[in-house]
Amino acid sequence: MVASEFGVPPNLLDLLKEPVLAVQDFLVLTGRALKNIFLSPHYTDDIFLQMDGIGVGSLQIVALTGTFSGAVMALQMARALASYGQVGKTGTLVSLTLVRELGPVLTALMVAGRNASGIASELGSMKVTEQIDAMRALGTDPVQKLVTPRVIATAVMLPLLVIIADFVGLAGGWLIADFFLSIPSKQYWSSAWRALDWSDVAQGLLKPLVFALVISLIGCYYGLRTTGGTQGVGRSTTQAVVMATVLIFIFDLMITKIWVS
């Protein structure tokens, strides 16, 4: 009756109900997880365990991704700059592109593929085996115990992984510049260093902090709402990775737009 008064078909309201409730539940989970950062207990051992799994466990794939990204960019940038006779500026473009954009985004995507899925599957398995219900019965807050440590660990480790990815990316670009483009090492590193200012560094560290919250909270959200046994765990894992990837690109655009305005 209410839907017809406003000219909205009842079926459309039924379609919108589930997404709206999902957004509401996600915002509630986000608020509780962030509030618990300042409340006791802090479960420090869990935080360090998650930091090891998320940070150290992702180090190899992040380093490989950063190295080859820098190398590919050096090749592509040098080819574009050759038409202007500015091949020596390759280090400048590689540095700016890595620090501002590709370093944070590619690192976040690698971490999302590895850890958002891991978080969702881990918490999903706990949910379908009723371990989370048992935790509540024993008086332990699942958000405080399971979600907040993962949020803190991801927020600490992802910016550090981005710094590593930026450095090895510059090193990959240097290898290409030195061995294939005949650009002196001193010229490459000098142009790469001078191209950066504090605004670029701040932007390059703000993005992974936001991405870290997205990755950890999305993984936890889909893990905690898992239903349907082992098939539900697989479904939640897929949804977590897809949603985290999409939100990384959306927030990247939003931060970039705000920063350059």
Residue 261 binned pLDDT confidence (cut-offs 50, 70, 90)? confident
- Please work out, in degrees rounded to the nearest 5, the angle formed at the alpha carbon of residue 43 by the alpha carbons of 39 and 49: 140
Kindly state the percentage of the chain with pLDDT values over 70. 95
Asked whether the beta carbons of 232 and 124 are under 8 A apart, the reply is: yes
- What is the per-residue pLDDT for 2? 47
Q: What value does the mean pLDDT take over residues 83-110?
A: 87
Q: What is the pLDDT of residue 12?
A: 66
Query: What was the pLDDT predicted at 16?
Result: 77
Average pLDDT over residues 210-223: 94
What is the rounded CA–CA span in Å between residue 89 and residue 225?
50
pLDDT digits (tens, 9 = 90+) for 38-56: 988 888 999 999 999 998 8
Measured over the CA atoms of residue 158, residue 251, residue 194 and residue 63, the dihedral's sign is positive
- Measured distance between the N- and C-terminal CA atoms of the chain, rounded to whole angstroms: 46
Query: Is there a contact between 193 and 99 (Cβ–Cβ < 8 Å)?
Result: no
Residue 181 DSSP class: S
Triad 134, 136, 141: Cα angle to 5°:
135
Looking at every residue in the chain, the average pLDDT score rounds to 88
- For the segment 190-211, the average pLDDT, to the nearest whole number, is 89
Quote the tokens at residue 131: 């371990």
Q: Tell me, what's the pLDDT at 62?
A: 93
Contact of 99 with 123, CB cutoff 8 Å: no
pTM (2 d.p.): 0.88
DSSP state of 87: G
Q: Residue 131 and residue 110: Cα distance in Å, rounded? A: 29
| Residue 221, CB-side half-sphere exposure with 13 Å CA sphere | 24
| H or E stretch at 92 | helix 90-97
Of these ranges, 68-77, 149-158, 180-189, the one predicted with the greatest mean pLDDT is 149-158
* Residue-wise pLDDT tens digits, 222-253: 999 888 878 889 899 999 999 999 999 999 99
Counting Cβ atoms within 10 Å, is residue 184 exposed (0-12), middle (13-18) or buried (19+)? exposed
Report the pLDDT value the prediction gives residue 5, as an integer from 0 to 100: 53
Q: Which residues contact 244 (CB under 8 A, 6 or more apart)?
A: 112, 116, 214, 215, 218, 219
pLDDT at 227: 84
User: Taking a C-beta distance cutoff of 8 angstroms, is the pair 90, 81 a contact?
Assistant: yes
Amino acid at 65: T
* Averaged pLDDT for residues 101-106: 92
Answer whether 261's CB lies under 8 Å from 248's CB.
no
Local confidence band at 10 (pLDDT 50, 70, 90 cut-offs)? low
